Amino acid sequence: MKTEREFAAIILAAGKGTRMKSTLHKVLHPIAGRPMLMHLLDSLAELEIQRTVVVVGDKREQLDAALAKSDITTALQEPQLGTAHAALQAREELAGFTGNILVCFGDCPMVKAATVRKLVAALDDGAKVAVLGFRPNDPLQYGRIIADRDGRVAKMVEYKDATEDERACDLCNSGLIIAHSDDMWALLDGVGNDNAQGEYYLPDVATGAIARGDRVAVVETDAAEVAGINSRAELAAAEAQWQDDQRDYWMSEGVTLRAPETVFFSYDTRLAADVTIDPNVVFGPGVTIASGAHIKSFCHLEGATIGEDCSVGPYARLRPGAIMGKNSFVGNFVEMKKAVLGEGAKASHLSYLGDAEIGANANIGAGTITCNYDGYFKYKTVIGERAFIGSNSSLIAPVTIGADAIVGAGSAVSRDVGAGDLRVVRGEQSVKPGWADRFHDAMKKKKAAEKND
């Protein structure tokens, strides 16, 4: 949906985030493998926002680095005198911009584009300012919004400045606020700091609009959507909420989760209908799974592409660059990294396949490894269609095994094997009749002698 007016966003992220007790900026802490700030930016991107400014302060260099490849700019708040003061720091970056301006917080990553559209609609309906409210189970020390049944705001007040009657109101301020640029800058300039904290509060934008007779509207949303993240516990709660939402979403899309609460997704996991996922599976970033695939228990997948009707695990690990063709199979304790398993190929157990290309219907025996690293460089192993690699084989790259070739169990292969050839590379067996019996007898006598001393 394209808004009728131009649209800009100011994201406040200048706080020190001391409760996180971290050297990493608060808004860069990840949810489902993606920094919380990026979750918010992804939502805002759906609104076709023309310009976005992130207001920074503490650890500015981290945010500048995180945003370096985008067209998002930053503005410094120093000193930090409150949220209204922070929003004003974006004025220079938005010089010449005319349109709606949304001010929101970088530590509220769950805000949805659909909710912001409701705020925009409130402006289109005649409000000069629109704010986002919510009703938490415990209002705690949130600022309050005093409004009538039609959503017209009479007053906004911080908890520390509220009367007992105002604190009894359960409609709380999320901090999100929107107004046209013609109103936003004037109202921000008019915010004072005559309050218990001596700070310039963003909600006073609404207070100033009410004082001059403008209509201020409140839009309500669910508390979970606007939950701020200020501590590790709140970060864990946000992660849990995000994962719950994703589980519900994927099941609604036709994915079977046998124990939903034990499956963990990444922000970019992509699953087709009729995928089945057993308990205790973790998806890192970059996983795509086609229809009919079955991911068994205790698997960890990252950067992997799984084809139709594949079977993975249990206890398999697929690392970045792992690609499984249709109807291929990896079993327990198989690890793949930058390896392609062709259609119908299988590695049933206890194998490492790295930097490898494995042809259709090839069979990789238990304990097989591709020796792809010499301490300095990586090398590739190529295994042809229908090749059979015997158990406990070491394929020392770079090496090519031809189609229909057989590598005997226990072989260490360092030279190419032709199509249809058999290669067996083993040390010659030596048999010494009776040697083991004589060894055991000698050791038992020695142990008995030591015991009697």
The set of residues, in sequence order, having a beta carbon less than 8 Å from that of 360 and lying 6+ positions away, is 325, 342, 343, 344, 345, 385, 386
Residues 26 and 63 in one domain: yes
Q: Which residue has the tokens 């669910």?
A: 222
The region that residue 210 occupies, defined by phi over 0 for left and psi between -120 and 50 for alpha, beta otherwise, is alpha
Boundary-marking domain end, from 226, 243, 263: 226
Residues 194 and 243 in one domain: no
Boundary-marking domain end, from 191, 226, 261: 226
Confidence (pLDDT) at 1 = 38
96 within some domain: yes
Residue 177: name the closest of 198, 196, 204 by CA. 204
Q: Which domain holds residue 362?
A: 232-423
The CATH number for 35's domain is: 3.90.550.10
Is 28 exposed, middle or buried, given 0-12, 13-18 or 19+ CB atoms closer than 10 A?
Answer: buried
Residues 160 and 17 in one domain: yes
SS3 314: coil
Active site positions, annotated: 349
17 within some domain: yes
Residues 245 and 378 in one domain: yes
Residues 307 and 281 in one domain: yes
Confidence (pLDDT) at 439 = 92
Contact indicator for 99, 7 with CB cutoff of 8 Å: yes
Confidence (pLDDT) at 3 = 43
430 within some domain: no
Residue 396: name the closest of 361, 368, 419 by CA. 368
Report residue 384 as tokens: 């042809």
The amino acid sitting at 435 is W
344 within some domain: yes
| 0.85 surpassed by pTM | yes
Measured CA to CA, the distance from residue 93 to residue 335 in angstroms comes to: 49
Report residue 86 as tokens: 């922070």
Full pLDDT tens readout for the chain, 453 residues: 344 578 999 999 998 889 999 999 999 999 999 999 999 999 999 998 999 999 999 999 999 999 999 999 999 999 989 999 999 999 999 999 999 999 999 999 999 999 999 999 999 999 999 999 999 988 878 899 999 999 999 999 888 888 999 999 999 999 999 999 999 999 999 999 888 788 899 999 999 999 999 999 999 999 999 999 999 999 999 999 999 999 999 999 999 999 999 999 999 999 999 999 999 999 999 999 999 999 999 999 999 999 999 999 999 999 999 999 999 999 999 999 999 999 999 999 999 999 999 999 999 999 999 999 999 999 999 999 999 999 999 999 999 999 999 999 999 999 999 999 999 998 888 889 999 999 999 999 999 998 887
Residues 180 and 47 in one domain: yes
453 within some domain: no
Binding residues for UDP-N-acetyl-alpha-D-glucosamine: 12-15, 26, 77, 82-83, 143, 158, 173, 230, 319, 337, 352, 363
Binding residues for acetyl-CoA: 366, 372-373, 391, 409, 426
Residues 163 and 247 in one domain: no
Residues 280 and 396 in one domain: yes
Measured CA to CA, the distance from residue 300 to residue 266 in angstroms comes to: 11
The CATH number for 259's domain is: 2.160.10.10
- Number of structural domains (the chain) is 2
449 within some domain: no
Measured CA to CA, the distance from residue 163 to residue 206 in angstroms comes to: 18
Residues 355 and 399 in one domain: yes
Residues 212 and 242 in one domain: no
Boundary-marking domain end, from 226, 255, 290: 226
Residues 254 and 208 in one domain: no
Binding residues for Mg(2+): 107, 230
Sign of the torsion formed by the C-alpha atoms of 66, 68, 72 and 78: positive
Report residue 216 as tokens: 């201020």
Measured CA to CA, the distance from residue 135 to residue 153 in angstroms comes to: 15
| Displacement of CA 373 from its chain's centroid (Å) | 30
Q: What is the tally of helices (H) and strands (E) in the chain?
A: 9, 34
